Chains A and B, each alone.
Chain A
Amino acid sequence: MARIIVVTSGKGGVGKTTTSAAIAMGLARRGFKTAVIDFDVGLRNLDLIMGCERRVVYDFINVINGEASLNQALIRDKNCNLLYILPASQTRDKDALTLEGVGRILEELSKDFKYIVCDSPAGIEKGANLALYYADDAFVVTNPEVSSVRDSDRMLGILASKSRRAELDEEPIKEYLLLTRYDPNRVRSGEMLGLDDVQDILSLQLLGIIPESKSVLTASNAGIPVILDEKSEAGQAYEDVVARYLGEDRPHRFIDDKKGFFRKLFGGRS
C-alpha cells in the first residue's frame, strides 16, 4: 500500500509545486517508487518544474474519464526511473475532478507505488479538497508572513475535518510544517516572521526550513527539481526534509544566519 502525501498551503505562490517536485524526487532517489500528481487542473505547472512538459500526451482528467489508461498518462522522469508524473489537464477546470474518480486512480496507483505525492492547488475549493481527501500525511507549506500562516491554519482545520480519515473517524492525517522562502536576515530585522512566531500559531512538527535561494528559481526555469542541485542550500534543505520524513534525526539548519563576518561584509549570497 502506498502512503499518500498532500502538499498543501491554502495560499498560492508559497512553494507547493517546488516542494512536491523536490520531495517526490528525493523519495524516488532513495529507492521508493513514487508518483507525483498535479491537482491544479487548468493551471498545469508541475510538468514545467519537472521538465517534462514536452512529453505530456494524456493527463489526470483523461484517466478519470476513462479516455486513457494510467500507464499511458504517467510520465517517467528523465533523471530517476522510479519517479512518475501524472500531469494535470490545462484545458479543463477543477469541476472535471470527481471524488470517486480521484479515489479510483489513487487506489490503482497504490498497488504499484510506495509514495504518492499530491500537489494541491491554492485555495480551499474543490481541487484543494480533493487533493487532501485521501491523504495519509500532509506537508503544510508556509511562508514566514502573516497571511500565509493564517491560510495554513485554515487548511489545517480542513485537514482535520474534511478528509476521508476524518469522515471515517480513523487516525487523523499526520501534519508536518515546511517553512519556505525563509530569510534569517529579514527575520532578524523584523521584516519576516521567525520560526517561533509561526510555530506559536501552527504548533506542528517541523520537517524543515527551506531558505530563500536563487537556486530555486534557476532550477524551476531549467525544469530540474531543486533537490538535484546538491550544492544549493535549498537543495540540501529539501534533502533534509525527505530524510526527516523517513524518520532520520537531522538537526535543523538555515534558521540562523551562519555566514561569517567577512562574507557578510562583502555581501556574499548563495
Chain B
Amino acid sequence: MKMSNTSSVLEFKSSTFFTPILILFSNEIAAIEQTLQDKISLAPDFFKNSPLIIDVRELNKSALEVNVAEIVDMLRMIGLFPIGLRGGNEQQNKQAQKLSIPVDAGRDIENNLAVQEQNQQKAPDKHSAESTAVEDVGTQEKTAETAVSKTLDATEKSAPQAVPVRAMIIAQPVRSGQRIYAQGDLVVMSQVSAGAEIMAEGNIHVYNTLRGRALAGVQGNTSARIFCLDLQAELVSIAGDYKTSEHMTKQLQKKPVQVYLQDHALIIKEIA
C-alpha cells in the first residue's frame, strides 16, 4: 500500500486481521479463568498480549447472566487484551462501551452475510481509535491464525473479521506452476498460463486470457463468481463444483464469460 498524497499527517486504511474469538459457554469467572490458564500454559508466547474478542452469544442463548466488566478485568489480569464484544445484549454492550471496548451488534452473522458486511463497514468509523490498536497487535497473530481457531474456537469454521477483506490485485502474468490464493476477491490484470492455479475465497476477475485453473469460493461461498475476458481455462470451479475444459462448450472458448452456480449447477455464460 502506497502512502496517499492527500495528507502527510495521517491516512485511513482498511485492513483485515485475524483475532481469536473467545466463546463463552459458562458464566463462572473462576472456571473460565482456570480453563484459560491451562490453555495459555500450553503456548505462553502465543497468548502473551494476544488481542481477543469476547463472544457471549451462547451465554445469552442459555439466559446466563454476564458481567462484562468482570470478564474483561480477568482477561487483562492474565495478560490478554479484550478488544471487542460480540453477541451482547443492550446492557452488556453498554458495559463494554464504558470500558472502551467496541461492540459488534452481530445480528445473526452466520445466516446473513450482507448484514455482517454492513456492520463491519460501520465498525471502523465508530471506533477508529481502537481499530488502530488492533492493527498493531493483530499483525503478529496473523500467521498463527489456524492454531488459534483450533485451540480457542473449535466450533466455528471461519471467524468473521473486524474489517472486510481487501481484494488482491496481481499485475504480473501468472506463470505455469505458480499458485495464488486470495482470502477475498482476486483480480488478475495479466494472463494466467496453462498449469497455473488461482484460488480465491471470493470472486475471481481475470482481465486477460485465462488458460490455467481458476477456483472461486474455495471456502464454500456458493455465490462467488469467476469473470474472465478470454476463456481458455483448463478448469473452473465455484465452491467445489467444477468443469474441465473438455466439458466446456466450444462456442464459449476464447470469449469473455462469467461462471457462477445456479441451483447447484455450474453455469458458464458469455458476457454480452
> Which of A91-99, A154-162, A216-224 is near enough to bind chain B?
A154-162
**CB <8 Å contact, A153 and B172:** no
Is chain B's interface secondary structure helix, strand, loop, or mixed overall? loop
**Please, which residues of chain B bring their CB within 8 A of the CB of A244?**
none
Give per-residue flags for B146-178: 1 if the beta carbon is below 8 A from chain A beta carbons, else 0: 000000000000000000000000001111111
Is chain A's interface secondary structure helix, strand, loop, or mixed overall? helix
From the candidates A150, A200, A203, name the one contacting B176 in the complex (CB within 8 A).
Answer: A150
What's the tally of chain B residues with a CB closer than 8 Å to chain A? 14
With contacts defined as CB atoms under 8 Å apart, how many contacts are there between chain A and chain B in the complex?
Answer: 34
From the candidates A158, A161, A201, name the one contacting B193 in the complex (CB within 8 A).
Answer: A201
**CB <8 Å contact, A156 and B175:** yes
Q: Which of B172, B173, B191 has the most CB of A within 10 A?
A: B173
**Please, which residues of chain A bring their CB within 8 A of the CB of B105?**
none
**CB <8 Å contact, B196 and A157:** yes
Chain B min CB distance to A78 (Å):
40
Query: Which single residue of chain A is at the shortest CB-CB distance from B175?
Result: A157
User: Is B240's CB within 8 Å of the partner chain A?
Assistant: no
Chain A min CB distance to B45 (Å):
27
What is the interface residue range for chain A against chain B? Answer: 10 to 19
User: Is B266's CB within 8 Å of the partner chain A?
Assistant: no
**CB <8 Å contact, A150 and B175:** no
**Please, which residues of chain B bring their CB within 8 A of the CB of A203?**
173, 191
Query: Which single residue of chain A is at the shortest CB-CB distance from B209?
Result: A200
**CB <8 Å contact, A160 and B172:** yes
**CB <8 Å contact, A150 and B178:** no
**Please, which residues of chain A bring their CB within 8 A of the CB of B194?**
150, 153, 201
Offer 15 A-B interface pairs, CB within 8 angstroms, sorted by A.
A150-B176, A150-B195, A153-B175, A153-B176, A153-B194, A154-B195, A156-B173, A157-B175, A157-B176, A157-B193, A158-B177, A160-B178, A201-B191, A201-B193, A203-B191
Q: List the 3 closest pairs (A to B, CB-CB), nearest first.
A: A157-B175, A153-B176, A154-B176
Q: Which B residues are within 8 Å of any A CB, using their own CB? A: 172-178, 191, 193-196, 209, 211
